[in-house]
Amino acid sequence: MNVTDAVMSRRSIRSFTDQPVDPEVLRRVLDKARWAPSGCNYQPWEAHVVTGEPLKRLQEAMLASEMQNPQEYSFSEPDKSPQHKARLQAVGAKMYGTLQIAREDTKARGDFSRQNIVSFGAPVLLLNYIRRSFGPPQWSDVGMWLQTIMLLLREEGLDSCPQEWMSLYAKVLKREIGVSDEDYVLFTGLAIGYRTEDDAVNTWKRDRAPLDEQITWLGF
């Protein structure tokens, strides 16, 4: 698989099969991902990779807990921009429309959202956290590392779903995996596994903003 194929075939998968993931494949992917770029070579990423009984215990701990208040961090600031909020609303309309869940059906929407707890059936969960002392440049580095992982997973025939939603249970998750809440922010989960090919939630047509809406060309 070339890079273009990996980029274009990667999508946030929300229905996984129960096929197990070879740990050697995960080790190979994560070993390559170490070479992702980072400012000043800080390499600020850290993570736990969880499967099997430990993963079930994490999921049970979330099911037995309330979402934390206050949130670990705010991921909804773009809602203050009408342009960016419209993109969120458009993708929500497409996804829930595919699932035939009406906008006013708050229970069905909530039930689907709570599938995040079990990572949509993925057999592996990567939990990524970052030191509280780090700033926006290091968060950017972690994003590049995660994207590198997701593309390398596609090269191996695997799929993923980044789950910032996991931060809603950050304290619970950090307690369960033994990571200091005082020292670390839980950034995201990353569900890893094999997509259910025929599930509509994995096949609806995605959109992106036109290139020239986001890029300004000078001197060309």
Q: What is the per-residue pLDDT across 3-23, written as a single tens digit (0 to 9) for each?
A: 999 999 999 999 999 999 999
Residues in CB range of 7: below 8 A, 6 or more apart = 151
For the chain, percent helix, then strand, then coil, each to nearest 5? 50, 15, 35
* Mean per-residue pLDDT of the chain: 96
Give the Cα separation of 186 and 46 in Å (integer). 10
* Cβ pair 23, 126 in contact under 8 A: no
CB–CB of 9/112 below 8 Å? no
Cα–Cα distance, 58 to 125 (Å, whole number): 10
Q: Which residue has the tokens 């994995």?
A: 202
Does the pLDDT at position 75 exceed 90?
no
Strands 124-131 and 184-193: antiparallel
Question: For a pLDDT cut of 70, what percent of the chain falls above it?
Answer: 100
- Exposed (0-12), middle (13-18) or buried (19+): which is 61, by Cβ within 10 Å? middle
pLDDT of residue 119: 97
Quote the pLDDT of residue 165. 96
Confidence of residue 1 (pLDDT cuts 50, 70, 90): confident
What pLDDT is attached to residue 127?
98
pLDDT bucket at 76, cuts 50 / 70 / 90: confident
Residue 21 contacts by C-beta under 8 Å, 6 or more apart in sequence? 51, 123, 124, 158, 192, 193, 194
Peptide bond between residue 210 and the one before it cis (omega within 30 degrees of 0): no
The mean pLDDT value for 41-56 works out to 98
- Calculate mean pLDDT across residues 48-53: 98
C-alpha–C-alpha distance, residues 106 and 52, integer Å: 32
The structural domains of the chain, with segments of one domain joined by +, span: 3-72+117-203
Rounded CA separation 184/134 (Å) = 9
Sheet containing 159-163: order of strands: 46-51, 124-131, 184-193, 159-163
| Model pTM score | 0.95
Topology at the third CATH level for domain 3-72+117-203 = NADH Oxidase (3.40.109)
The per-residue pLDDT for range 158-201, each reduced to its tens digit, is: 999 999 999 999 999 999 999 999 999 999 999 999 999 999 99
For the ranges 2-6, 66-70, 93-97, 125-129, the lowest mean pLDDT is seen at: 93-97
Give residue 203's pLDDT band: very low, low, confident or very high (50, 70, 90). Answer: very high
Mean pLDDT in residue range 53-80 = 95
Segment 61-82 shows an average pLDDT of: 94
